[in-house]
């Protein structure tokens, strides 16, 4: 990762935007049985950082967003930990597959392959993170299997589809301008 002033500023701006998108707008109650699962678009700037700068830059955006959110949360950092695990797995997988696995394809075409791969990795991370960390830490009353099958999996699939579609269209519009100014 090229660490210069432009890169640091871009990561900072994308982290701030990601934090704002974590708070507003939210789509609440997508799954009525689990009303605390709100969809937000805060991973869109992190995906942009992962693809435009580096996978580590994308993870830094997710980390900074969650650290900032600790100042206004009531989850005792458990929600932020869950958000970091899920967001980092999505962003890191997308960034790594885009940069290294499909490096010879045009960016907008390789994203059509890498975004579904990243979504699968994120859903797997959400399942494992919820089963081993979030369910025990939150003490969710529902059984673990019912929560994961009825809440975690469908919620993350819906969220990933929305986030990835929004990201893809923003990327196609914004990426050429970022590249022109960065290098």
In the chain, count of helices (H) and strands (E)?
8, 2
State how far the Cα of 47 lies from the Cα of 93, in Å rounded to an integer: 10
Q: Is residue 39 within a helix (H) or strand (E), and if so which, with residue range? A: strand 39-40
pTM: 0.91
Question: Which token pair is 26?
Answer: 């939210």
Q: Which residue has the higher pLDDT, 109 or 117?
A: 117
For residue 89, is pLDDT > 60? Answer: yes
Query: pLDDT digit string (tens) for 4-42?
Result: 898 999 999 999 999 999 998 888 888 998 888 899 999
Banded pLDDT at 137 (limits 50, 70, 90): confident
In whole angstroms, give the CA distance from residue 7 to residue 20: 20
Is residue 147 within 8 A of residue 126, CB to CB? The reply is no
**pLDDT of res. 141:** 61
Domains and CATH numbers, the chain: 5-26+35-182 (1.10.1760.20)
User: What spatial distance separates the first Cα and last Cα of the chain, rounded to whole Å?
Assistant: 13
CA 167 to mean position of chain CA atoms = 10
């Amino acid at each position: 990762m090229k660490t210069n002033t432009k890169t640091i500023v871009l990561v900072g701006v994308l982290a701030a935007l990601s934090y704002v998108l974590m708070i507003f707008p939210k789509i609440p109650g997508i799954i009525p049985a689990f009303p605390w699962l709100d969809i937000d678009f805060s991973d869109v700037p992190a995906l942009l950082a992962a693809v435009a700068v580096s996978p580590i830059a994308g993870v830094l955006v997710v980390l900074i967003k969650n650290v900032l959110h600790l100042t206004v949360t009531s989850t005792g950092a458990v929600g932020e930990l869950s958000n970091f695990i899920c967001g980092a797995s999505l962003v890191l997988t997308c960034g790594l597959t885009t940069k290294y696995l499909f490096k010879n394809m045009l960016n907008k075409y390789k994203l059509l392959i890498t975004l579904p791969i990243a979504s699968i990795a994120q859903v797997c991370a959400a399942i494992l993170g919820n089963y081993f960390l979030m369910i025990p830490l939150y003490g969710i009353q529902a059984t673990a299997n019912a929560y994961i099958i009825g809440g975690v999996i469908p919620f993350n699939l819906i969220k990933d589809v929305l986030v990835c579609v929004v990201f893809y269209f923003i990327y196609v519009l914004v990426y050429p301008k970022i590249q022109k100014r960065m290098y």
